[in-house]
Amino acid sequence: MSNNKTSWFKSLKQPSAKYSLGGILIVGIITGVILWGGFNTALEVSNTETFCISCHEMEENVYKEYQNTIHYNNRSGVRATCPDCHVPKEWHWKVARKIKATNELYHKVMGSISTPEKFEEKRLQLARNVWKVMKKTDSRECRNCHEFESMDYLKQGRRAVDNHTRGFDEGKTCIDCHKGIAHSLPAMYEEDPSAAVGP
């Protein structure tokens, strides 16, 4: 047993004809750190508003709408950017979202929403996709900033208190009632109940 340990330690210290095990391990660790750092850097760079609006489809459509909402400009000066609402904070959910976002690259190449007209044609479908995800995650991204436990009902209007209380009792989530708060609602929302703004 001790001979095995000794030979293992020797292989770490003494180079063989070509490589030492220690050298290989060090190179492997350094390569791993560089790859991991590069991956995390790319993850963070792609998680900024600047990156999100770097394509004209987003800059010319949803970003312009968002600039006229309370999430962009408000009395408190707190701004929710694209990733705040569309990308989870937790690392494993963030990576899963980024993997799903590769589908958006395909649509970018195909020009699926390359003009305002094409975007409007798909607005309801795109909105439903986001609403479905938010419903499934219990509006996780909304809760990055808005927590039920932190709501001060004394500072809310009567209608808001009534709606929040009823919504909590009925097990509703933020997106059930708060559609169209950062982007315009689809043109069909008057005819399609699934696109309506809550109670």
Pick 148 or 168 by higher pLDDT.
Answer: 168
pTM (whole model) above 0.85: no
Cβ atoms of residues 178 and 156 within 8 Å? no
102, part of any domain: yes
Q: What is the 3-state secondary structure (H, E, C) of 28-61?
A: HHHHHHHHHHHHHHHHHHCCCHHHHCCCHHHHHH
7, part of any domain: no
**Could you tell me the residue range of the domain that residue 80 belongs to?**
53-195
47, part of any domain: no
131, part of any domain: yes
pLDDT tens digits, residue range 154-195? 888 999 999 998 988 999 999 998 988 888 888 766 556 655
Cβ atoms of residues 55 and 114 within 8 Å? no
118, part of any domain: yes
Total tally of structural domains belonging to the chain: 1
Q: Is the dihedral of CA 146, 149, 152, 157 positive or negative?
A: positive
Q: Is 199 a residue whose pLDDT tops 50?
A: no
